[in-house]
Structure formats: structure tokens, C-alpha cells
Structure 1
Amino acid sequence: MTFTIGIFGAGAIGSYIGGYLAASGEDIIFLGRPRGAQSFAQYGLTLTHFSKPDIRVTPEMARYTDEVGELRACDVIFITVKSQDTAQAAAQLAPVIAPQTLIISLQNGVGNTDILAATLGGDRVFKAMIPNNVLALDAGRFHMGTEGEIAIEDTPSLAALIDRMKAANLDVEARPDMAAAQWTKLLMNLSNAGNTLAGLTIYEHLRSRDHRRVLALSIDETLAVLGAANIAPPRLGKVNPKILAPLLRLPDFIYHRLMPFIIKIDPQARSSMAQDLIAGKDKSEIDALNGAVIALGHDVGLATPVNDYITARIKAAFAAGESPKLSGAHMLAQIKALTRG
């Protein structure tokens, strides 16, 4: 017996996850833009991974639509749109989904399930997160360039789905602490903005100690806010939030030797935020990432000058339509001036 699984937002992450499930024989319905449907009809999907064999999905192996009503028959729907589009996705789904359909937010940020639950009902909405970076290439190709396990809420309602995902050769773990784990993912995602402002790949960005020091300042500030809010972000795979900032501040000759043992990063990988800017999108996920730190800081009465600065620069970059290609030294100097003032 197969599930019918919908992918609402068949971008890089949605195409990758849905593609693996389709290749394993699950009934998959991709919901995406008309140009995505055209690409799928012409090329299907080719899914590559830095350490796994390639996966090929032909157009006959899944359905691709731009009509949300086609998701009516789904048992499970993964929401993989960017956080700024969550409310719109919920509004589109509300009139068409069946009462028993389960909704899984596989998105960045910490507030998407609340937005979905407000419109669709909390009993059917579940948290999930993916730490991996997926790069959209040409001709229906998507490349996963970093390691990590998809984390999904540990609940009996999702046990069968998790088994099917594992059977499809996806790396998945069920976690009872998803709310806190999403903050660990957000800490990891804080690099997205710096990567975008630098105009570099993730690998190049993290090879620069000055850029790493900027990221460490953002992480330190976030951990202070989380501590004031009594939130303890847990270890996620090889990522221990307590050592992130000290690790990033290490001299290059030590950091470059240690990093391959902590996380594998493909040299061509770019953050999803950087990909959005390159693609000409006018909005980013910054409000759901660094902006979430700012909002929580306001709630607990802590200033967040580092994340304020980074958020403002990202918004300016998207308004201009290009990366300012800032050096780490430049960003450090501006942050120092702000925090000293």
C-alpha cells in the first residue's frame, strides 16, 4: 500500500525529498510553478548527492501540477515553500484538503507550524526540518551538497511515513524535541545571510576567518537570547550549539583541519537565501531566521545589534537585486562600530 504524498512548493528541497520518495515507488504529487511543471515534463528529475548514487525520476513516476486542488487526495503534504509564503500556502490549502490529511512543515525558521495551524488546525500540523543544502541546477537536476538527517516530530501519526522515507534511502530521525531542535537549525541557518552578503559559496564563506567571526557574533547573540527565554537548543547530529562559536573563531590552520570531521560541505553548495538572490527574487527568509532572533530578543528585553545589522543588509541586498559582496573585515568593522556606539 502506498501513501499519496503531496509536495507543496516543488523547489530544491521539495523536489529532492519528493524525488527520492517517487523513485522508491510512492505516489507523489508535486505542486509548483508552471515552469517547474514544464521542466519536469521535459527532463524529469536527476538527484545527485556528494556521497550517494544518483537518483533518476522520469515524468511517468510522479505527477506535477500547478493546481492546488490536485492535492485533495493526499494523505500527507510536505510544505516546502519559503517561510514568507507560509500564510499564503495555508490559505490555498484550507478549502481543498481532506480532514485526515497530515501537514508537515519542512521549512526554515521556528514559527511556520503556528501559521499553518492557525488556518488548517493544530492537530494535523507537524514540525520537521532538514539541515542539508540542496542546489538547483539546470535540466531538472538537484544536488545535495551537505550532510545531515531530516528531523521529524516523533509521533505515532508519522511512524509509517518515517519508515517509508527511510526505505527510500533518505536520512531521517524522529525527535521528541522538535521545537528546540528548530532553534538549533536556525543557529545553523544564521550562516545563510553571511554567505549571501559575501557572494560566496558556503565552502568559500566558511574558509574566511573574518566571515566566521561575524557568524560567531550572530550565534553568541542568539544563544544569549535563547538563554533569556529558557530555550536550550539540543545537539543535532554532529552540531553542538555550545561549541559552534568557539569553533568558528579558531585560526584557519586549525579550523580547516577540523571542519571535515564535523560536517561535509560540497564546494559548489550555496545557501537557499543566496540562490534566491541570484534568481532575482525580491524577498528573502531573513525575517524567519535572524528576524526571529530579533523578535525573541524584544520579547525578553535583550538588544540584538548584530542580527539587526545583518537583517538590514540582507533587505538592502534583495532591494538592490545583488549581493554587496562584503568582506568579513568590513562587516566586523561595521558591527564593532554599532555595538560600541
Structure 2
Amino acid sequence: MLRVAVFGVGAIGGYFGGILARTGHDVNFIARGDTAAALRQRGLRIESGTTGDFLVHPVQVFEDPAQVGSVELVIPGVKAWQLSEVGPMLNQMITEGSAVLPLQNGVGATDDLAKALGRRHVLGGVAKIFCYQVAPGHVRHDGATPCLVIGEHDNRVSKRLKSLQEAFQEAGVNTEVPEDIHIAVWSKFLMITSVSGVGTAEGVAIGKLRTERRTRQLLMKSMTEIETLAHSLGITLADDIVPSTLNFVDSLPAHAMPSMQRDFMDGRPSELGTLLSTVRQLGETANLNLPVNRALCELLFPLE
């Protein structure tokens, strides 16, 4: 049994923390305000057509990470831009062998955590799932068979990595340990940035995005530009990365939307800076012409 802390109980933290709790792991949720109140009163409700609907109740809820004590695994469930703020708070729960598994979208999103906690504690992670928070303490899995990709930053297969893989597998989540975690992170980045950027700019769900010729062409161009950027930085993505990513997008429910698009629609801070802005900044540093992603960035920034 793992002792786990989930810091921030939104969609991703709620889903993966909930599924570990359902399997019997000692999961401690760190939340405040309405979320903490909902978890205490009604528990954590997960809806999923793949792993099944379930309720975790009662829930171990804390508002201060210092109250949790040491854990083997920390899942930061906050947005990518909040990682720099929470890093020092996570230190209170970490011992020598502890692992921190950030699943935020973006490349370089874990750098701030590594600075605060030490690189040895921070894993690379990719969550292949579409889910969102219906209400505090209520998460809906909306598309894609849940899959985790996890790895040490030096790509060695450590004992703790095997332990985490086994725990998530037993909880019903397909969990992969790739040869190169950095390629896995960039592959997800290519997909989520293009779908988020074009989907938000067009204001349509994935079904319409992928079937209309014009928007599908925009998706392909955005992906191709990010592939070019990755190669310029020494990240060798799969030869078929663009068509295989489009095939994945084609498999998603037609009504699905990425979290950046949902945040934009609801007037919340989004991952625009983590996704499109990163592409633009890295492209400028590498002297690359990335017109589609630059145009999406310039269009959306004034609207956020």
C-alpha cells in the first residue's frame, strides 16, 4: 500500500487520487475552501465509463500539508503555472525516497518543482485522459482510455518507478514506462497544444474541429510546427507523430474539449502561457518560423 498526497483536487488530482484510494491506498487530499468542504461532506465522486463510477467516502482531507506527514508519492493537482508556488509546500511531505509525479501539460513545467525539491524527487509524467471537474469534489472522465506514462528524468528504471507502475496498473490505469520520458512529454505537448489552440480559437468541440477540412488542416499545421520545434531542440519524435496524433484525436468523443478551452469559456486563467506561449518563445529562441502557433498565440492572449 502506498502513502500518497494529492495537492489540489481538481480533475487530474481528483481522478488519479480517487482511483488509488478506491484500490485501498492511503491517499491524503490537500484542499481548501469549497473543495475541502465538499470532500468532507459528500466525498469524492468520480464518473467514468471506462473505470466505472465510484465514490470515495469518507475522504482524508487536510488544508495544511504539514498535517499529512511523510508520503511515498505526491501528485500535484494544481495548474502548471502554480507549480512554482506549491513546490516549497510539498517539501514538508517528502523524505529521501519520495517521488513527486507532476502530470501537468507542457514542457519544462516541472523545472520549478525540481528547483524547489531537488531533481531526484521529481518524475516525468504524462496523463492521457480527458476529464474535468463538474463541481467541487466531482470529476467526470470524458474521453480517452486512462493511461499514465511515467519515467525518471535520466530514463533509468528505478525501484520506485516499478512500484508506482504496479500500483496504478492494479488500480485499473494502464501505466507505461517509456525508453525516453522526454519524448513522451513532447508527444503529449504536440497534441494538447494544437488541439487547445485551434479549438479555443474556433470555439468548437473536438468533433467539429477534426471533421471540417479547414480546422483539420490548422491542426495538422500546428502539430507539424511543434514537431519541427522539438527536432530543433534534439527531441526526436516518432516519424509518424502527426498522423498518429490525428488518429488519437479522431478516437476522442465528439463533444470533448481540452481544459484550456474549458477555462477560456468559463473565464478562468488557462494554460495558454504554458502551451502556445512556450511554443512561441522556444521558436523565437531557435529562430524558427512557426506562423500558425504564433497567430493562435497572438489571437488568444488579448482575450484571456
State TM-score, norm by structure 1.
0.80
Deviation sequence 1:257-299 (CA, Å, 0-9, x none): xx5x875323442211122223432x32122222222232223
Aligned to 1:206: 210
Counterpart of 1:294, as a letter, is: R
Aligned to 1:147: 144
Runs of 4+ in 1 over 6 A off after TM superposition: none
CA 1:317 to 1:50, structure 2 compared with 1: closer, same or farther past 3 Å? farther
Counterpart of 2:149, as a letter, is: A
- Asked whether the 8 Å contact 2:69–2:92 carries over to 1, the reply is no
CA 1:54 to 1:307, structure 2 compared with 1: closer, same or farther past 3 Å? same
1:163 matched to 2:166? The reply is yes
Counterpart of 2:85, as a letter, is: Q
Deviation sequence 1:48-75 (CA, Å, 0-9, x none): 22334222212x1x31223232343221
Deviation at 1:80, TM superposition (A): 2.6
Pairs within 5 Å for 1:34-49: 34-49=33-48
Counterpart of 1:150, as a letter, is: L
Pairs within 5 Å for 1:307-322: 307-318=293-304
Deviation at 1:244, TM superposition (A): 5.0
Aligned to 1:219: 223
Aligned to 1:277: 264
Aligned to 2:124: 127
Deviation at 1:185, TM superposition (A): 0.2
Deviation sequence 1:68-106 (CA, Å, 0-9, x none): 323432211012321111111113223553343221111
Deviation at 1:168, TM superposition (A): 0.9
Equivalent residue of 1:233, what SS?
A: coil
1:14 matched to 2:1? The reply is no
- Asked whether the 8 Å contact 2:224–2:242 carries over to 1, the reply is no
Counterpart of 2:99, as a letter, is: L
Deviation at 1:196, TM superposition (A): 2.0
Provide the alpha-carbon RMSD of the alignment. Answer: 2.2
Equivalent residue of 2:69, what SS?
A: helix
Matched residues in 1 for 2:244 and 2:295: separation? 21
CA 1:192 to 1:5, structure 2 compared with 1: closer, same or farther past 3 Å? same
Matched residues in 1 for 2:232 and 2:249: separation? 28
1:192 matched to 2:179? The reply is no
- Asked whether the 8 Å contact 1:216–1:244 carries over to 2, the reply is no
Counterpart of 1:86, as a letter, is: L
Larger strand proportion of the pair: 2
Deviation sequence 1:187-222 (CA, Å, 0-9, x none): 110211222222222233323322222221211211
- Asked whether the 8 Å contact 1:43–1:139 carries over to 2, the reply is no
- Asked whether the 8 Å contact 1:297–1:303 carries over to 2, the reply is yes
Matched residues in 1 for 2:226 and 2:206: separation? 21
Aligned residues: 297
1:289 matched to 2:293? The reply is no
- Asked whether the 8 Å contact 1:11–1:32 carries over to 2, the reply is no
Counterpart of 2:113, as a letter, is: L
Unpaired segments of 5 or more residues in structure 2?
152-156
Matched residues in 2 for 1:268 and 1:13: separation? 19
State TM-score, norm by structure 2.
0.89
Moved more, 155-164 or 262-271: 262-271
- Sequence identity (%): 26
Deviation at 1:34, TM superposition (A): 1.5
Aligned to 1:328: none
Matched residues in 2 for 1:14 and 1:204: separation? 29
When Rg is computed on C-alpha atoms for both structures, the one with the higher figure is 1
1:106 to 92, 97, 103: 103
1:89 matched to 2:86? The reply is yes
Moved more, 297-306 or 166-175: 297-306
Moved more, 12-21 or 271-280: 271-280
Aligned to 1:182: 185
- Asked whether the 8 Å contact 1:10–1:80 carries over to 2, the reply is yes
Counterpart of 1:285, as a letter, is: E
1:299 to 282, 285, 297: 285
Aligned to 1:329: none
Matched residues in 1 for 2:124 and 2:219: separation? 26
